A = this chain, B = another copy of it.
């Protein structure tokens, strides 16, 4: 995790790149009152330290036919064992782990967290419409052997949505 010291200029650079990830180094330099080379050195340092994890383009879901955003709470079976082939002494494939691996392969699921509380997992799911959603539920999520039950809610309105973290 290696915390790293960030001074005021570093934070300003992060703030800028969190909003405009394609700004040229020159432009960033100008906005933080630095010349290009020290600015680039700082950005490189932030990238290497993993503070900047990635640069990405954000795509509008509505524009590519993914108009429905759902959050799905999932509860898994407790303590169930995988039927059949399990060598004694070897670590069992737990339902939890199984589920986590499956989630990685479902494109509709863009985020999944193990959570505190009564529900084990929270999934963020992008689909085209209710039809698509129910297909995903019936054919994929509810068919997974580790899943005990689910509770879904749908986004009616996006009040706020940003990838930019507050820079304390």
**A158 contacts partner chain B, Cβ-Cβ < 8 Å:** yes
Interface residues in A110-167 by Cβ distance below 8 A to B read: 110-117, 119, 121-122, 126, 128, 153-167
Tell me the number of copies of this protein. Answer: 2
**A41 contacts partner chain B, Cβ-Cβ < 8 Å:** no
Give the chain B neighbours of A126 by CB distance below 8 A.
165-166
**A87 contacts partner chain B, Cβ-Cβ < 8 Å:** no
**A107 shortest CB reach to chain B, Å:** 4
**A89 shortest CB reach to chain B, Å:** 26
CB distance A156 to B115 under 8 Å? yes
Of the candidates A50, A57, A113, A160, the one having the most CB atoms from chain B within 10 angstroms of its own CB is A57
Stretch at the interface among A15-23, A32-40, A75-83: A15-23
**A138 shortest CB reach to chain B, Å:** 18
A154, closest chain B residue (CB): B116
Question: What is A's interface to B at a CB cutoff of 8 Å?
Answer: 1-4, 6, 14, 17-22, 49-66, 69, 71, 100, 103-104, 107-117, 119, 121-122, 126, 128, 153-168
- Ranked nearest first, the 8 interchain pairs of A and B with the lowest CB-CB distance are A107-B166, A17-B57, A114-B157, A21-B55, A112-B159, A113-B155, A22-B55, A117-B153
